[in-house]
Amino acid sequence: MTAEPQVQPPGTPFNFAQHLIACNAQRPGKVAYIDDHGHMRYGELANRIRRLAAALQACGIHREERVLLLMHDCNDWPVCFLGAMYAGIVPVAVNTLLTADDYAYMLQHSRAQAVLVSGALLPVLQDAIAQGGHEIGRVIVSRPAGPLAHGMIALDALIDSHAPLPAPAGTGPDDPGFWLYSSGSTGRPKGVLHSQGNPYWTAELYAKPILSLCESDICFSAAKLYFAYGLGNGLSFPLSVGATVVLMAERPTPEATFKRWLENQPTVFFGAPTGYAGMLAAPGLPQREQVSLRVCSSAGEALPADIGERFTARFGCEIIDGIGSTEMLHIFLSNRPGQVRYGTTGWPVPGYVVELRDEDGRPVPDGDVGDLYIQGPSAALMYWGNREKSRETFRGGWTKSGDKYVRNADGSYSYAGRSDDMLKVSGIYVSPFEVEATLMVHPSVLEAAVIGVPDEAGLTKTKAFVVLKPGAQVSETELKAFVKERLAPYKYPRIIEFMDALPKTATGKIQRFRLREMESAPA
């Protein structure tokens, strides 16, 4: 348990877009966003938000109706997201790497009245719309590549044709604000409904007190804006303090990331463990004196200690590892600057309460693995149209995360895997992450994923899938011996398969269920 921070809750009415406009009213000339095409100052951002809000209303879209936001990270993204919220319309931010089938489902599921789309993504959207199932009133295109079909309009033309909306919708902090879709790793993605007030809380409880974000910071996030993690990193957090944000449309490869580090000199970088591992192994890794990083953040999966230690040794900059979720919107359990214990996820963020419980819902003692439950003010309202899953996850004031953790003697928490990834070997629970983290300490290993596979007798044994660093060589026998020296004997992987790459989600999370499917598929 931690002390409740002294943060003033938002009153009524409360509109998050208007809140951010008010936060930056005194800095209209400061650069808010830098994308691949130019920059946008805070005064221009506020003006475009209010003009788009008026335009959406003029299109006949009503308060609390949804609009799909399918857009690469660019200066138009925050305009569209916040413009909808300013009007009381609910933006549904979606992953740009999905298929037409996925978007057809999301259009029908959300009953979106319009789509705000990047010109480069218009073909896949048109394929989705052609599947039918839901009629779209208007398609609004950012940076169209050519002439637009009937019923479509360029975003700039739409914004320029309307005067700013005089006042925001009179929403309250508990009113519907926006949707995000869960990853859908176990079925169709779930529409996670967040309130107008939720992003306020993540900025007040995490960005300001934990990361100490301030107006002079330049923020750059490898995680895209359509993810809960990226939305905080690139919108809620920096705009709450008047910082500058660097946006990048392309994939966050090491080369693309280094380019922004060198050209834009961000002071705060937000990444994920896979990305940090890839950067440390990349040939173009900058020198410490070439960058301006003061603090880095990691989420998505637990950060292996070795990666954090090597990164800090290289740049003199700590990686603040934490865990959040789409359902809680951002990080609720975290290390903090000056108090980093690599190999753990740190301590509860003040304002949140966490508990570990067994399968019967009873608290577990320190040192035992338990299911992670969270209580805090940024929890989602529900999964749209899915009462069963909503009841399973949102339990009174608590949210069940689906993660397994261990509480250490110093009050920090160590990740033990997803609830559906835990293995029971020789009658004892084994955390795949613990074995993976140990494998990744080996100098030849870039990435590793561990699952359980049945042996001839039907008993569960651990199997590791390993990706080696470029040019590295190591044998299966050597890796097994390496793990045996560092973990209890029953934990070492009985089988090791070398791979060129591991299956991952768009956020870089390893998809262990794909590996399990590969193992169970008939030969």
pLDDT computed for residue 5 by the predictor: 67
* DSSP calls for 484-499: HTTS-GGGS-SEEEE-
pLDDT computed for residue 99 by the predictor: 86
Would you place residue 97 in the very low, low, confident or very high pLDDT band (cuts 50, 70, 90)? confident
Contact 159, 48 (CB under 8 A): yes
Residue 324 has pLDDT above 50, yes or no: yes
Please, what's the b/e burial string for 133-161 (b: 16 or more CB within 10 A of its CB; e: otherwise)? Answer: ebebebbbbbbbeeebeeebbebeebbee
Give 465-492 pLDDT, tens digit per residue.
999 999 999 999 999 999 988 887 778 8
pLDDT computed for residue 183 by the predictor: 66
Would you place residue 1 in the very low, low, confident or very high pLDDT band (cuts 50, 70, 90)? very low
Would you place residue 184 in the very low, low, confident or very high pLDDT band (cuts 50, 70, 90)? low
Residue 49 has pLDDT above 90, yes or no: yes
Stretch among 132-136, 265-269, 429-433 having the lowest mean pLDDT: 429-433
Looking at residue 207, the DSSP 8-state letter turns out to be I
Give 379-421 pLDDT, tens digit per residue.
999 999 999 999 999 999 999 998 899 999 999 999 887 776 7
Q: Which of 136, 18, 120 is nearest to 74 (CA)?
A: 120
Please, what's the b/e burial string for 19-33 (b: 16 or more CB within 10 A of its CB; e: otherwise)? Answer: bbbeebeeeeeebbb
Token couple for 152: 């479509």
Would you place residue 423 in the very low, low, confident or very high pLDDT band (cuts 50, 70, 90)? confident
Would you place residue 7 in the very low, low, confident or very high pLDDT band (cuts 50, 70, 90)? confident
Residue 203 has pLDDT above 90, yes or no: yes
Q: Which of 225, 223, 288 is nearest to 257 (CA)?
A: 223
Residue 428 has pLDDT above 80, yes or no: no
Token couple for 99: 């298929």
Q: Which of 97, 151, 156, 158 is nearest to 129 (CA)?
A: 151
Would you place residue 135 in the very low, low, confident or very high pLDDT band (cuts 50, 70, 90)? confident
Phi, psi of 322 (to 5 degrees): -150, 175
Q: Which of 227, 233, 200, 415 is nearest to 327 (CA)?
A: 227
pLDDT computed for residue 461 by the predictor: 80
Q: How far apart are the first and last CA of the chain?
A: 51
pLDDT computed for residue 429 by the predictor: 63
Q: Which residue has the higher pLDDT, 318 or 424?
A: 318
Beta-carbon contacts of 241 under 8 Å, excluding residues fewer than 6 positions away, are 23, 203, 207, 208, 213, 214, 215, 217
Contact 29, 41 (CB under 8 A): yes
pLDDT computed for residue 185 by the predictor: 46
pLDDT computed for residue 452 by the predictor: 85
Would you place residue 225 in the very low, low, confident or very high pLDDT band (cuts 50, 70, 90)? very high
Residue 425 has pLDDT above 90, yes or no: no
- Residue 5 pairs in a beta bridge with none
Q: Cα separation of 322 and 299, whole Å?
A: 5
Name the pTM for this structure.
Answer: 0.84
Contact 272, 508 (CB under 8 A): yes
Computed over every residue of the chain, the mean pLDDT equals: 92
Give 350-376 pLDDT, tens digit per residue.
999 999 999 889 999 999 999 999 999
Sort residue 385 into left (φ over 0), alpha (ψ -120 to 50) or beta: left
Residue 288 has pLDDT above 90, yes or no: yes
Q: Which residue has the higher pLDDT, 437 or 209?
A: 209
Q: Cα separation of 138 and 270, whole Å?
A: 34
Would you place residue 228 in the very low, low, confident or very high pLDDT band (cuts 50, 70, 90)? very high
What is the SS3 assignment for 419?
coil
For range 164-182, the mean pLDDT: 96
pLDDT computed for residue 133 by the predictor: 76
User: In 206-327, which ranges are E strands?
Assistant: 218-221, 244-246, 268-271, 295-298, 319-324
For range 452-459, the mean pLDDT: 72
Beta-carbon contacts of 286 under 8 Å, excluding residues fewer than 6 positions away, are 258, 261, 262
Looking at residue 366, the DSSP 8-state letter turns out to be T
